[in-house]
């Protein structure tokens, strides 16, 4: 089943929220939280949170078995690996060996299996739908992204204080901001203030 990322609402712990379309579901997953300074953005606090995230479109993997604590740990390791690999690719650096190993290990598990519905016009994931399968599917999308035609379109937001990464799927390949409503508008306001200051 083809999965097309359609974006997620991200919430800033300091207040406010904005729509962010990372351009790939695996990158949406990479932005569900993090380690160190990014722990304040954590959304996967317990195994049930992961189950809820996986069940949302476009993946829509409604699990037939509850997520375990061990699977949540594996999911967070995969998330960190995707984050590290995407940032390395965006910066033109070699991908970290640990990130490659983690992604490959997750991808080695059996992925979700699509199944055509009785009506012949819709599809779902064949049962059973397990966490490891969903993580494998995300890892495989990561591999496809990092090794495919859009690998050179992975960007980090141009704002000095925004670490979000995305796939620039725009026709001209000129996207600079995680979101025009957030960092794009902030840049416009700073530029406007700078112009006004020099005009005085």
pTM metric for this prediction? 0.88
Mean pLDDT of 161-180: 87
C-alpha span between 125 and 127 (Å, rounded): 6
pLDDT tens digits along 79-138: 999 999 999 999 999 999 999 999 999 999 999 999 999 999 999 999 999 999 999 999
Q: What's the confidence (pLDDT) of residue 200?
A: 60
Quickly state the pLDDT bin for 187 (edges 50, 70, 90). very low
Region of residue 44 (phi > 0: left; psi between -120 and 50: alpha; otherwise: beta): beta
Q: What's the confidence (pLDDT) of residue 15?
A: 73
Q: What's the confidence (pLDDT) of residue 183?
A: 86
* pLDDT beyond 50 at 1: no
Which residues contact residue 191 at a Cβ distance below 8 angstroms, ignoring those fewer than 6 apart?
none
* pLDDT beyond 60 at 199: no
Which residues contact residue 181 at a Cβ distance below 8 angstroms, ignoring those fewer than 6 apart?
18, 19
Instruction: Report helix angle 69-91 to 47-55, nearest 10.
Output: 60
184: DSSP letter: I
Helix (H/G/I), strand (E/B), else coil: 33? coil
Bridge partners for 154 per DSSP: 167
Residue-level length of the chain: 200
Q: What's the confidence (pLDDT) of residue 126?
A: 97
Q: State how far the alpha carbon of 113 is from the alpha carbons of 62, 102, 106, 109, 127, in Å.
A: 13, 22, 16, 12, 8
């Amino acid at each position: 089943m083809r999965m097309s990322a359609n974006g997620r609402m991200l919430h800033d712990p300091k207040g406010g929220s904005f729509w962010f379309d990372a351009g790939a579901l695996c990158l949406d997953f990479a932005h569900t939280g993090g380690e160190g300074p990014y722990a304040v953005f954590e959304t996967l606090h317990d195994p049930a949170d992961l189950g809820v995230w996986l069940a949302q479109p476009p993946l829509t993997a409604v699990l037939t078995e509850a997520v375990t604590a061990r699977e949540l740990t594996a999911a967070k390791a995969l998330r960190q690996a995707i984050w590290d690999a995407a940032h390395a690719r965006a910066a033109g650096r070699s991908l970290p060996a640990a990130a490659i190993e983690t992604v490959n290990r997750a991808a080695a598990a059996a992925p979700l299996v699509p199944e055509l519905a009785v009506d012949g016009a819709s599809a779902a994931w064949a049962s059973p739908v397990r966490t490891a399968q969903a993580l494998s599917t995300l890892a495989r999308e990561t591999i496809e992204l990092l090794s495919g035609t859009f690998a050179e379109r992975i960007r980090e937001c141009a704002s000095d204080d925004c670490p979000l990464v995305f796939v620039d799927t725009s026709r001209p390949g000129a996207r600079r901001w995680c979101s025009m409503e957030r960092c794009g508008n902030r840049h416009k306001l700073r530029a406007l203030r700078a112009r006004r200051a020099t005009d005085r």
